[in-house]
A and B are shown apart, each in its own frame.
Chain A
């Protein structure tokens, strides 16, 4: 009787391990992409930096951030990336940002990811047809220049583990 119970326990544990292994592997190998949609303006009314935009705050003296003195976070999303499968985020100006994980190199903290981004526009050719970058986790990069509401949009993209 005891032997049957032991066998059942071992089988259950084995099944659980067998099912969880691919998930763990996927979790370890697939980062997520964190996207911030930032509205930047230059006003005479005084500077304002959204307190959530810590990274921007460090670059206010760098081009092209120095051109603006008001930064507001309009939207924020975190999307899980899977190799070869694009994820999309609708932007406030009607365009769509698509991000695709291409591949990765290295392991652990030294792991680096190659990804592609595209900004599509309905019924028109893409605003950004292709942007391909290689970055590690927690290394943000920005895409700016889109006109919006008397200012411009900055997209902050950063890979998260």
Chain B
């Protein structure tokens, strides 16, 4: 005996305990009479045919989880996309931050280098490399026309040390001006009184 589609559905519902009482009694009677019906139910239980039948008979019901799964999948995808986007944005922000940091460090180094160069230049400028007067060894004398105080000296300052006359015979002479006393603290910028260093070369006839 071949079971009809409706009978199979009723058997499946019976197997699931979903049938009303009167229908269930009728199906029970069928199972007592029909070997095919019993076999179908046994097969359902044995091979979990109920799930297959359920999907075959109620495609919408099976579609629900699929949709749900699809939605969930979509959500998961979106979430994963979002999740993957956030690090991407973070990475971009981090990259931007690192980039900014590199620019800042580079700029800082450039500024520091510029300042170092400036101060080195400024420091070297503070050193007074050239004497204010030099007299070659030949003759070895530098003097003002008159030794009278108040006459124009070789090295003069506003009430600092004034050099009036130098004679070192065959030695070369250099005169360096240096800031005097408190003026020394302000070094090159000082316009205050100054002093002198008379440098006489040890070597005779040196230039």
Contacts and interface: CB of A to CB of B under 8 A. Distances in A.
B83 interface: no
Interface of A, helix, strand, loop or mixed by DSSP: strand
Output the residue of A112, A126, A131, A136 with the most chain B CB within 10 A.
Answer: A131
A147 to B, nearest CB: 4
Contacts of B195: 135, 139-142
Chain B, interface size category, equals 35 or more
Nearest to A102: B147
Contact of B168 (A103, A112, A127): A127
A103 to B, nearest CB: 7
A62 B196 contact: no
A152 B174 CA distance: 15
Contacts of B169: 125-126, 129
Interface string B166-191: 11111100101011110011010000
Given A61-B126, A146-B202, A139 B149 contact: no
B10 interface: no
Contact of A129 (B162, B167, B196, B202): B167
A134 interface: yes
Chain A, interface size category, equals 35 or more
B190 to A, nearest CB: 11
B200 A145 contact: yes
A76 interface: no
Contacts of A132: 143, 147, 163-166
Interface stretch (B21-29, B33-41, B43-51, B127-135): B127-135
Interface of A: 58-59, 61-66, 102-103, 105, 110, 112, 114, 125-136, 138-147, 152, 154
Interface of B: 123, 126-131, 140-141, 143, 147, 149-150, 153, 159-171, 174, 176, 178-181, 184-185, 187, 193, 195-202
Given A63-B128, A141-B161, 10 more contacts: A58-B179, A61-B126, A61-B127, A61-B187, A62-B197, A102-B147, A133-B196, A135-B195, A139-B161, A152-B202
